[in-house]
Amino acid sequence: MARKNQARGDKRTRAHPPLDQHVERLAGFSTGCLYHAHSTLNASFHKAEGLFKKVGADLIELHFATLGEVRAFQESDSVRIEYGHFSKVYLHAPSKEVFHSNLVGWETLGRMQALALQRSISGVIVHPDPYLDYSMLRNSHLPFLFENTDLNRQGGTSLKDIKRIKKEISQSPHLGFAFNAQHAYAHDRSGKLGLEMIAAMGDRLKVMHVSGQPEPGSGRSHGLAYDANNKAIIRGFMDYRPDLPRIGIGYAKNLRDIQAELDFLRR
């Protein structure tokens, strides 16, 4: 019975008391939601910033898939965009073996620090892997947020991983977590693991990545949550921590998708 109650997220397992469900939440998008090859939208940072502003998004995440993308961004006009109309700006660091104690790791860290100096950053989201050098991130004083990962990763995939990371960062109050709803669902479709991860992250959890189950055969890893077949589970994660800012990361085809997803994120 206790396991059922936890999976349902009843009041005995809530990490935080529920807030007024009618209050609009801080919500916005990652530039990564425009990356898909079949999108009719231009995925440049300029275009993304303009589209998100047009629909009234509260926040933006600048998503860098590779170190090369970070270099290109810093060498282009995009780096000079002022994001002052967004209440929060996040960076998503490249996800493949970039914070190891080597030249690539130190370059990536230096470039993240340079970007953070140019604007107020609410968090730098990073995928943990088994060889991540936590000392680099502890000493950086940047607000790194460790994200639970999907089926293709080797770290951040289990409750045990989350507890281990929390212990690693326990003496570094500037470090925390980002919860990825679809990643948790991919590991456990009942929603139980996701709720346990959220509870384990506790007050160190600062933001939520929201997307839904992609359509079979779409070649996508993140679908739009508002019309996904698992949106009830995703909504359960959101309601478990309604205080968190929400970043939409489902692949969008057009402006209608972006507006509909934003409406879902804010409820």
CATH no. for residue 173? 3.20.20.150
Q: Alpha helix (H) ranges present in the chain?
A: 2-8, 45-54, 67-74, 103-118, 134-138, 159-168, 181-187, 192-201, 231-240, 255-266
In a domain, 14, yes or no: no
In a domain, 11, yes or no: no
In a 3-state reduction of DSSP, which class is residue 200? helix
**Mean per-residue pLDDT for 5-14?**
43
Q: What are the residues whose beta carbons fall under 8 Å from the beta carbon of 53, sequence distance 6 or more?
A: 85, 86
**Mean per-residue pLDDT for 44-62?**
90
In a domain, 212, yes or no: yes
Tokens coding 74: 């810093």
What is the spatial distance between Cα 29 and Cα 46, in angstroms, rounded to a whole number?
Answer: 14
What residue numbers bound the domain in which 150 lies?
25-266
Residue 33: CB atoms within 10 A of its CB come to 27
Grade residue 3 by pLDDT with cuts at 50, 70 and 90: very low
Place of tokens 């607000």: 143
- What local confidence, expressed as pLDDT, does residue 34 receive? 84
Grade residue 24 by pLDDT with cuts at 50, 70 and 90: low
**Mean per-residue pLDDT for 141-155?**
89
61-to-78, 99, 107, 170 alpha-carbon distances in Å: 14, 19, 21, 25
Q: Which residue has the higher pLDDT, 215 or 38?
A: 215
- What local confidence, expressed as pLDDT, does residue 8 receive? 45
- Strands 27-30 and 176-180, how do they pair? unpaired
DSSP code string of 127-172: ---TT--HHHHHTT-S-EEEEP--TT-SSS-SHHHHHHHHHHTTT-
In a domain, 69, yes or no: yes
Portion of the chain with pLDDT greater than 70, in percent: 85
Q: What's the structural domain count of the chain? A: 1
In a domain, 64, yes or no: yes
In a domain, 152, yes or no: yes
Nearest C-alpha neighbor of 38 from the set 211, 247, 220, 221: 220
What is the pTM (predicted TM-score) of this model?
A: 0.88
Q: How many CA atoms lie within 13 A of 222 on its CB side?
A: 26
- What local confidence, expressed as pLDDT, does residue 98 receive? 77
Report yes or no: 32 and 221 within 8 Å, Cβ to Cβ. Answer: no
In a domain, 20, yes or no: no
**Over 70: is that where the pLDDT of 237 sits?**
yes
Report yes or no: 85 and 149 within 8 Å, Cβ to Cβ. Answer: no
- What local confidence, expressed as pLDDT, does residue 5 receive? 45
In a domain, 192, yes or no: yes
